[in-house]
Amino acid sequence: MITELPPAASTHYLRHLLAAKDATQALQIATDHVATVLGCPVSWAGLVEEEHLVMGAHHGVESTEMAAAWRLKVGEGIGGRVALERRPQMSRDYRHDSRRVPLLKRLIDNEGIQATLIVPILVADVTLGVLYAAHRQPYPWTTEELGTLEAIAHDLGVRLRQLDVDGRREARAAHSEQRAARALRHAQASARLASSFAQQDMPDAALDLLARELGCRVELRQEDGALVRAAGTLGEGNPRVVTRLRLDDDGLLTVVVIHTRELDEDGRAFVDLCVGLFRLQLLRVSERERTAERLTGELVDELLTGRVADWEVVRARMALTGLSVQPGAQILVAGRRVDGAEPPAVELANLLRTVSPGSPTVERGGRVVCVVHPRGRSAGELRDRLCDAVARSRHGWVVGIGRACADLVDYSTSYDEARAACELALRGETTGSVVTAHELGILGMASLPAAHLRTTVHDVLGPLLDLDDERGTTFVATLRTFLSHDRHLPDTAAALHVHYNTVRNRIARIEAVLGVDLRNVDDRFRLETALRMHELSAALGHV
């Protein structure tokens, strides 16, 4: 039965609701209003607290036990189902309703309640509680009464949300505060890291600083996975890779961050920021180091001369400056047959960029030296590409190629061979503009000390050299041409532009002076070797 009330009653109810200072006041206003509007003697409201409905406010309840002990699990009993299913329930006669919960049955019966109408207090899809209207005798609830109770519950729900009855707003505020505090800590840590980076130039120290700020383990690895350096330790928990970032376009160096915590969005953003700073730091340091290397050639000098105190230090420096330390690197030495206006190193660097991108070049002894990594290409392919590039450049480049280096200790040998090959080619003693030490038969010779080369040459060819010096003869050239034409007299004569008999006489003289027999393979081997050493000494300026 809806009591006839002036229209102002609703307005009055809303005003009171708005004036409520807390949830209890709002609930009390609502239950009072229910009793007034529906003309029922009893009304109460339960609020959801975790998994239960607890008494929020009541009107007309007579027993203190009902007020104190009413508590219903969400989903159980009639009120619990209203809260779970978010739709109204009514009971015309409680005494014959099987849905009741035994404990509450006694409370309700003691209160003398026999009919209830229950609606959920909803805000959007969230149930804040339930609102009861009750009579102490069986009562046939009408649809109109149900609508009225739902309207009261709706207004109540809106006000309860304003009052943050379920603490959601407070929780959101607390969460926001936590995020803000974390963001501030992260910003401070990032600033601290950037500041620390600015004060030092050692890549190793940068890795230590990164690990310290992130509180985890950080590794630098090469493209084949080999560990360059690690910093930081892992605490309790199961480690996982949270970031893996390539530090350069070639993918030579990767930073790996390993943490024992699964990072949320904020944590991941912080890690990304710190790793980004580290990448910048490494680029800054390596660029600076590379510039310094270009000026002094210190690192390359150490490699090319083989005067290295600690190979591991060199290996780490190379990795950190972006130089590949993979097996297979080859040293190129280039010179020009004609001088040009453009600085040679720049021009050759441009030329090599088309052959092997990213290869470092330095100037040394008037020649341009380059460390080339084949990156899966064969030595023949490298040579072909160089030939094409040199032919295209039309600047008279001559390039000598040393052996492929199995390890860093081979760099100096490869350099000696490349330099010797280049010098021989520049003297016109080879065909082609790109020559390998292998082709010239000087593998293993180019690194021999000058005195050793001189001694060997004079031991084998001494008398012939003396003759040429003293009398202006060309016995050494004749011998070289004769051997290079497989002891074929007509070809040798044609190559030297002399008569066949002249060659035959000179060869007989050479055999007599040196005491050798050119039909003997051992003698020929000694002479071939000595001739190459002689060429080498001349090319390298030893004689």
Partner 1 sequence: MRLITFTTGGETHVGALDGDTAVSLTRASGADPRFASMLALVRAGAEALDDARELCDSHPAEAVHDVQEVTLRAPLPDPPRLRDCSLFIEHLQPAFRGMARSLAAAADDPEAEYERLVATGKFDTPEVFSRQVVYYTADHTAISGPGDLIVAPSETRQLDYELEFAAVIGQTTKDVAPEDASGVIFGYTIFNDWSCRDLQMTVMESQLGPSRGKDFDGSNTLGPCIVTPDELGSPYDLRMEARVNGEVWSQGSSSTMHHSFEDAVVHFSRGRTILAGDVLGTGTVLSGSPVEIGKRLKDGDEVELEVHGIGVLRNRVQLPY
Give the residue from 33, 59, 29, 54 showing the smallest Cα distance to 44.
59
As measured in angstroms, the least distance from the Cβ of 240 to partner 1 is 6
What is the spatial distance between Cα 514 and Cα 485, in angstroms, rounded to a whole number? 20
Give the residue from 460, 432, 437 showing the smallest Cα distance to 447.
437
**One of 174, 226, 409, 450 touching partner 1 (CB under 8 A):** 226
Give the 3-state secondary structure of residue 163. coil
Residue 406 sits in the site that holds partner 1 (CB under 8 A)? no
| Residues counted in the chain | 543
Beta-carbon contacts of 334 under 8 Å, excluding residues fewer than 6 positions away, are 344, 348, 367, 368, 369, 370, 397, 398, 399, 400, 422
What is the spatial distance between Cα 434 and Cα 73, in angstroms, rounded to a whole number? 90
Residue 229 sits in the site that holds partner 1 (CB under 8 A)? no
What is the spatial distance between Cα 389 and Cα 354, in angstroms, rounded to a whole number? 8
Nearer to partner 1, 135 or 221 (CB): 221
Residue 410 sits in the site that holds partner 1 (CB under 8 A)? no
**One of 238, 307, 394, 521 touching partner 1 (CB under 8 A):** 238
As measured in angstroms, the least distance from the Cβ of 243 to partner 1 is 11
Residue 256 sits in the site that holds partner 1 (CB under 8 A)? yes
What is the spatial distance between Cα 542 and Cα 390, in angstroms, rounded to a whole number? 28
**One of 7, 102, 225, 472 touching partner 1 (CB under 8 A):** 225
Residue 261 sits in the site that holds partner 1 (CB under 8 A)? yes
Nearest-Å Rg of the Cα atoms of the chain is: 47
User: How many helices (H) does the chain have, and how many strands (E)?
Assistant: 20, 15
**One of 33, 59, 186, 221 touching partner 1 (CB under 8 A):** 221
**One of 22, 262, 381, 407 touching partner 1 (CB under 8 A):** 262
Binding part of the chain for partner 1, among 30-38, 90-98, 240-248, 363-371 by CB under 8 A, reads 240-248
Binding part of the chain for partner 1, among 60-68, 138-146, 173-181, 253-261 by CB under 8 A, reads 253-261
Binding part of the chain for partner 1, among 36-44, 258-266, 268-276, 532-540 by CB under 8 A, reads 258-266
As measured in angstroms, the least distance from the Cβ of 500 to partner 1 is 46
Cβ proximity of 47 and 21 under 8 Å: no
As measured in angstroms, the least distance from the Cβ of 221 to partner 1 is 5
Show the site string, 110-129: x = touches partner 1 by CB under 8 A, - = not: --------------------
Number of residues that bind partner 1 (CB under 8 A): 18
As measured in angstroms, the least distance from the Cβ of 458 to partner 1 is 44
Nearer to partner 1, 222 or 473 (CB): 222
Binding part of the chain for partner 1, among 217-225, 340-348, 522-530, 535-543 by CB under 8 A, reads 217-225
Residue 36 sits in the site that holds partner 1 (CB under 8 A)? no
As measured in angstroms, the least distance from the Cβ of 225 to partner 1 is 3
Cβ proximity of 193 and 274 under 8 Å: yes
Q: Which residues between 162 and 191 bind partner 1 (CB under 8 A)?
A: none
Nearer to partner 1, 144 or 262 (CB): 262
As measured in angstroms, the least distance from the Cβ of 223 to partner 1 is 9
Q: Among the residues of 427-488, which ranges form H helices? A: 437-440, 450-471, 475-484
Residue 219 sits in the site that holds partner 1 (CB under 8 A)? yes
Beta-carbon contacts of 404 under 8 Å, excluding residues fewer than 6 positions away, are 327, 328, 329, 330, 374, 379, 414
Cβ proximity of 351 and 389 under 8 Å: yes
Binding part of the chain for partner 1, among 53-61, 111-119, 260-268, 331-339 by CB under 8 A, reads 260-268
Neighbours of 128 (CB within 10 A): 24
Nearer to partner 1, 99 or 240 (CB): 240
**One of 4, 50, 125, 236 touching partner 1 (CB under 8 A):** 236
Instruction: Show the tokens assigned to 523.
Output: 């003698």
As measured in angstroms, the least distance from the Cβ of 111 to partner 1 is 33
| Sheet with 329-336: strands ordered across | 361-364, 367-372, 329-336, 397-405, 434-436
Give the residue from 155, 256, 166 showing the smallest Cα distance to 211.
256
Nearer to partner 1, 230 or 489 (CB): 230
What is the spatial distance between Cα 320 and Cα 46, in angstroms, rounded to a whole number? 68
Binding part of the chain for partner 1, among 57-65, 121-129, 180-188, 223-231 by CB under 8 A, reads 223-231
Sign, CA dihedral 373-378-381-387, equals: positive
Residue 260 sits in the site that holds partner 1 (CB under 8 A)? yes
What is the spatial distance between Cα 65 and Cα 72, in angstroms, rounded to a whole number? 14
Give me the residues that bind partner 1 (CB under 8 A), please.
219, 221, 224-227, 236-241, 244, 256, 258, 260-262
